[in-house]
Amino acid sequence: MERNQMLRQVAVMRQSFFDQGFLDEQFVQLEELQDDANPNFVEEVVTLYYRDSSRQILNIDQALERNPLDFNKLDTYMHQFKGSSTSIGAKKVKAECTQFREYCKAGNGEGCMRTFQQVKKEYAILKRKLEAYFQQVRVQSGPSETACRPRN
Amino acid sequence: MSFSAPLMENGFSSPRNESFPAGLRVLVVDDDPTWLKILEKMLKKCSYEVTTCGLAREALKLLRERKDGYDIVISDVNMPDMDGFKLLEHVGLEMDLPVLMMSVDGETSRVMKGVQHGACDYLLKPIRMKELRNIWQHVFRKKIHEIRDIESHDSFDGIQISINGSDLSDDGHMFCGEDLTSVRKRKEFENKHDDVGDHSSPKKHRVVWSVDLHQKFVKAVNQIGFDSKYEVGPKKILDLMNVPWLTRENVASHLQKYRLYLSRLQKENDLKASFGGIKLSDLPSKDPAGSFGVQSSISGNQNDVPNGRYQYSGENFFAQDLDTKNHEGDLKRVVSESTDTKSTLTADLPDPQETRSSQMSFDHSFASLDSEVNYTAIPAQYSWSEAPQFKEEHKPLLQLEDGFSQLPPSGLHHIQIDPLQSASSITSGLSVTGREICGPEKIKPLYAQFNGNHVSLLSPKESAIDSFPVQSKSHMVKHQSFEPISTAISGMKPQGFNLSCITDFESCQRNLISATDTTFAPFNEDLTVCWLQGDCHSMNFELPNVEFTDYTDPGFIAEFPIYLCDTLTSDNECPFDTPEYPIVDQGLFLS
C-alpha cells in the first residue's frame, strides 16, 4: 500500500540518520518522549533547536570576524552551541564543535575558522535532512488520527 | 508537596505516600530553550511537577517567592546572567534545596567545582530520562540527614525549623519563631516528630537567618565585643539578640556553618592564590553576575564592627564568613542558614571541605543578583575558623577591584581573590573564632554604623583602630553588595566565628562577620574593595582577643591610604603581598 510504502520510506530515512552518523541516541530519547500529550514533540524540539542555534551561529560568525580573535568568547559561544546541538543528537555537528573547541584552546584562529565552516556545513545538511524527514512524517500522520512516527 | 512532613511522620523511613516521588517539585534552570523543553518533558514523564526557567535570576526569584515551593533544583552550569555555580550556592544557602548541575562539559575540574559548590550531582548532557527519574533520592537523602542531625544532637544544630510565614522582611527568609518554639519544646521532650500536618509545626527545617536576624546577631556580637573583652559565646549573643524563639543552638550552628564556609573559601583562595594571587584586575568583568564594576558607587558597607576587614568595592564586596556560630542573620532573603550550616560551619573550619561552604560563599556573592554587583571573590584562605590553620595575621588591606580583593600580606591570613568567582561572588571565607561579631546591618544602616563606629570611609584609620580593640572579640565582616554598590566589610572575630552577612537586595549589601580579620576597607567610591587588615590577625578562632589589638597597629593604618590609592587607579595587586590572604567570598548574601 501506499501508506505502508511511505511508512517504510520514513523508516528508512530515519535509520539512515543513525547509520550515517548524523544523529545519535539522543534523538531516540526525544522520540520516546513523544506521546499523546505531545504528538509532535520531536519536530517541535528540532524546530526550536534550529531557531535558537541560528542565533548562536551568528554570534560565532561575528566573533570570528574580530581581530584579534577572542578565543575565550569563541569557546563560550561554541560551548553553548554544542550544548544545544547535543539536545537533538546532532552527532556530526557535535563532532565539529568539539574540534572547534580544540582549536580555540590551542589559540588556532585558522583552525577555528576552517572548522566552523565545517560546523555550518554539517548543521545545514542535517537541517535539510530533518526537514525532509518531518515533512514525510507529517504527510503520513496527516490523514490519520494519531501521529505516525516511524519506530524501529 | 512537603516532603519533610512525611518523613518526620514516618521517621523518614518511607515515603509519605505511594505517590512519592511523584509530584516532586522540580525547578529547571537552563538558558537553552531546547534543553528546557526536553527536560520539562522528561521530568513530566517522571510524574514530577516541573517549573522551567531560562534565567538564573529569575529562578532565584521564583525560589524566594515560594520558599517552600520546590523540592529540588536542576540547573545548567553555563548561563548568561549568572554562573551556575553561584546559583548553586545561593540556592544552597538560602533555600537549602538539593541542586543538580548540568553541563555538556564533563571535565573533571568542572565536576569537581560543582561538587565543591554543593551540587548534589553533576549531570552530563545529553541527559537521559533515567537519570532524571532518580533525582528524588537527593531530596530524600537530604531530609534524612537533617533528621539524623536532629536526632543525634542535643543542640539544634541539625534541626531545621521551618517556620511558615516570615516575620521578617518580606524578602527575608527568616522563619518566624513559632516553629522554633515548638521545636524547642520538641527538643525538650525529645520528641522528634511533630505534627506534620500543621504548617506551623517545625518541620525540622533550618532556621533561616534572615537579614534582620543576622543584623541582630551581629549587633549583639558587636555589643559584646565593644563592651568587654571577653569572648562572646553563643549564649551571650543570644541574650543580646533577644529573639525569643531563637536558641543558643541556632546561633552556635550558624557560626559553625560559617566557619566551614570560610574555611572552604580559604581553601579556594589558596588555590586561587596559586593562580596568581590577588589580582584586582583579574576580575572577569565579563561575568555579569559577579563583576563588580568599580563604578558602582560604594555605599559604605560596613560592618558595624570594623574589627574585621572592611572591604569596599564599588561593586564588590567581600563577604567574610567568619562564623563559627551563626552569622547569617542579616542576609536578606539570602542566606539560609541551613545551607550555611552544612557547608561552612563545622568545627574544622580551615578545611573547606564542605561543599556547602562553597555554596555559601557563592550565595553571598550573589548578593546582588539583579545588579551588576560583583563580588570579588576573595577566596578566603583565612583559617579563621580553625586555630591550627589559622593564619594569623590578617593582611592589612584587601583591595577589591572588579571583584578582586587583595589582602595585604601583613598577616598570616590568606586572602585570595578568586578570579573565577570574583565575578559574582565574594566569598568570605573568613571565619573567626571567638570573636564577637559586629552585627551586620543592612547596608544603609550599616554603613552609617560603620562610619559611626569605626570606619569612615575616608578616615579609616581612626575608626579602624578604634574598632579593632573593641572588637577584639568579634569580627564582623560585612559584605554588602549593592546592586550599584557593594562594599564589604569584614570584621574579625577572634574567637567564635561569627559571620553575619546581610544582603540587602536593593542595596546589595552583605554583612559578613569575620572575626579574624580586621581589615578595614574604606569606603571609596572608586575603590572597589579595600581590605585593611591589622597586622596580626589571628583569624584563628582560638586566638584570644589580644590579637585583635594588633589591628590598631598604626602601621597597619598607614598602609591604608596607599593601598587605597593603588586600588583606585589600577587593578594591580595589592601592595601587600597578599597571596596568603584568604579572600572571603561573600557569596553568602544575596541581594
Residue B478: count other Cβ atoms within 10 Å of its Cβ: 55
Per residue in B417-474, pLDDT (tens digit) is 334 333 333 333 333 333 433 333 333 433 333 333 433 333 434 333 343 333 333 3
Q: Are the beta carbons of B246 and B179 closer than 8 angstroms?
A: no
Strand partners, B400: B405, B529
Q: Are the beta carbons of B315 and B294 closer than 8 angstroms?
A: yes
Q: Are the beta carbons of B8 and B192 closer than 8 angstroms?
A: yes
The single residue listed with the C-alpha cell 587583595 is B406
- Shortest distance between the Cα of B17 and any Cα of chain A, in A, equals 26
pLDDT at B104: 87
Among the partner-chain residues A29, A45, A84, the one whose CB lies closest to the CB of B129 is A29
Q: Using CA atoms, how far apart are residues B450 and B431, in angstroms rounded to an integer?
A: 20
Task: Enumerate residues 103 to 132 of chain A having a beta carbon within 8 A of any beta carbon in chain B.
Answer: none
pTM of the model: 0.47
Please, which pLDDT band fits residue B248 given cuts at 50, 70 and 90? confident
Which residues in chain A have their CB less than 8 angstroms from residue B104's CB? Answer: 79, 82-83, 86
- Name residues whose C-beta falls within 8 Å of residue B513's C-beta, 6 or more positions apart in sequence: B218, B221, B258, B303, B305, B308, B320, B321, B322, B323, B327, B432, B437, B438, B440, B474, B475, B476, B477, B478, B490, B491, B493, B498, B499, B500, B501
- Shortest distance between the Cα of B132 and any Cα of chain A, in A, equals 13
Q: Are the beta carbons of B512 and B306 closer than 8 angstroms?
A: no
Q: Using CA atoms, how far apart are residues B180 and B252, in angstroms rounded to an integer?
A: 15
Q: Using CA atoms, how far apart are residues B377 and B372, in angstroms rounded to an integer?
A: 14
**Mutate which of A29, A54, A104 to disrupt the B interface (most B C-beta within 10 Å)?**
A29
Q: Quick one: how many helices (H) and strands (E) in chain A?
A: 6, 0
Per residue in B224-245, pLDDT (tens digit) is 665 555 555 777 778 887 788 8
Say if the Cβ atoms of A52 and B32 lie within 8 Å. yes
Alpha-carbon torsion (B126, B92, B422, B291), positive or negative: positive
Q: Read off the DSSP letter of residue B223.
A: H
> Is residue B119 classed as helix, strand or coil in its secondary structure?
coil
- Give the residue from chain B lying closest to A86, CA to CA: B126
Please, which pLDDT band fits residue B526 given cuts at 50, 70 and 90? very low
Where in B49-148 does DSSP place strands (E)?
A: 49-53, 72-76, 99-103, 121-124
Q: Using CA atoms, how far apart are residues B99 and B96, in angstroms rounded to an integer?
A: 9
Q: What is the dihedral of CA B525, B529, B532, B537, to 10 degrees?
A: 150
pLDDT at B272: 65
Full DSSP string of B342-372? HHT-SS-TT-TT-HHHHHHHHHHHTB-SSS-
The single residue listed with the C-alpha cell 583569624 is B539
B382 or B93, higher pLDDT? B93
Whether A53 shows a pLDDT value over 70: the answer reads: yes
Q: Read off the DSSP letter of residue B418.
A: -
pLDDT at B260: 58
The single residue listed with the C-alpha cell 555559601 is B360
Q: Using CA atoms, how far apart are residues B435 and B449, in angstroms rounded to an integer?
A: 19
Q: Are the beta carbons of A96 and A136 closer than 8 angstroms?
A: no
Q: Using CA atoms, how far apart are residues B323 and B344, in angstroms rounded to an integer?
A: 8
Q: Which three cell numbers stand for residue A5?
A: 510504502
Task: Enumerate residues 69 to 98 of chain A having a beta carbon within 8 A of any beta carbon in chain B.
Answer: 76, 79-80, 82-84, 86-89
Q: Using CA atoms, how far apart are residues A145 and A92, in angstroms rounded to an integer?
A: 35
Q: Using CA atoms, how far apart are residues B63 and B66, in angstroms rounded to an integer?
A: 5
Per residue in B73-92, pLDDT (tens digit) is 999 998 888 888 888 888 88
Whether B337 shows a pLDDT value over 70: the answer reads: no
Among the partner-chain residues B34, B128, B129, the one whose CB lies closest to the CB of A84 is B34
Q: Using CA atoms, how far apart are residues A102 and A140, in angstroms rounded to an integer?
A: 42
B276 or B64, higher pLDDT? B64
Q: Are the beta carbons of B475 and B514 closer than 8 angstroms?
A: yes
Task: Indicate the helix (H) or strand (E) that contains A150.
Answer: none
- Name residues whose C-beta falls within 8 Å of residue B411's C-beta, 6 or more positions apart in sequence: B391, B392, B393, B394, B395, B396, B517, B533, B534, B535, B536, B537, B539, B581
Please, which pLDDT band fits residue B145 given cuts at 50, 70 and 90? confident
Q: Using CA atoms, how far apart are residues B516 and B395, in angstroms rounded to an integer?
A: 10
pLDDT at B228: 52
A149 or B102, higher pLDDT? B102
Nearest to B445 by CA among B184, B117, B211, B126: B211
Strand partners, B49: B25
Taking phi over 0 as left and psi of -120 to 50 as alpha, with beta for the rest, A115 belongs to alpha
Per residue in B252-276, pLDDT (tens digit) is 877 665 555 556 666 767 776 665 4
Q: Which three cell numbers stand for residue B210?
A: 534572615
Residue type, A136: Q
Q: Which three cell numbers stand for residue B507?
A: 542595596
Q: Is A55 in the B-facing interface, judged by CB distances under 8 Å?
A: no
Say if the Cβ atoms of A86 and B45 lie within 8 Å. no
Looking at every residue in chain B, the average pLDDT score rounds to 54
Size of interface A-B (CB pairs under 8 A): 56
Q: Read off the DSSP letter of residue B299.
A: P
- Among A133-137, B30-34, B329-333, name the one with the lowest average pLDDT: B329-333
Please, which pLDDT band fits residue B150 given cuts at 50, 70 and 90? confident
Q: What is the largest CA-CA distance in chain B?
A: 68
- Name residues whose C-beta falls within 8 Å of residue A135's C-beta, 6 or more positions apart in sequence: none
Please, which pLDDT band fits residue B143 given cuts at 50, 70 and 90? confident
Whether A106 shows a pLDDT value over 60: the answer reads: yes
Say if the Cβ atoms of A84 and B37 lie within 8 Å. no
Nearest to B559 by CA among B521, B588, B528, B523: B521
What do you get for the CA distance between the two ends of chain B, in Å? 28
Alpha-carbon torsion (B183, B235, B443, B583), positive or negative: negative
The single residue listed with the C-alpha cell 593603588 is B566
Which residues in chain A have their CB less than 8 angstroms from residue B102's CB? Answer: none
Q: Using CA atoms, how far apart are residues B132 and B142, in angstroms rounded to an integer?
A: 17
Say if the Cβ atoms of A80 and B41 lie within 8 Å. no
Q: Which three cell numbers stand for residue A33?
A: 518522549
Per residue in A20-35, pLDDT (tens digit) is 999 999 999 999 999 9
Residue B212: count other Cβ atoms within 10 Å of its Cβ: 22
Q: Which three cell numbers stand for residue A128?
A: 535539510
Nearest to A119 by CA among A46, A62, A57: A57
Q: What is the dihedral of CA B439, B250, B145, B44, to 10 degrees?
A: -60
Mean pLDDT of B520-540: 39
Q: Is B124 in the A-facing interface, judged by CB distances under 8 Å?
A: no
Strand partners, B255: B325, B326
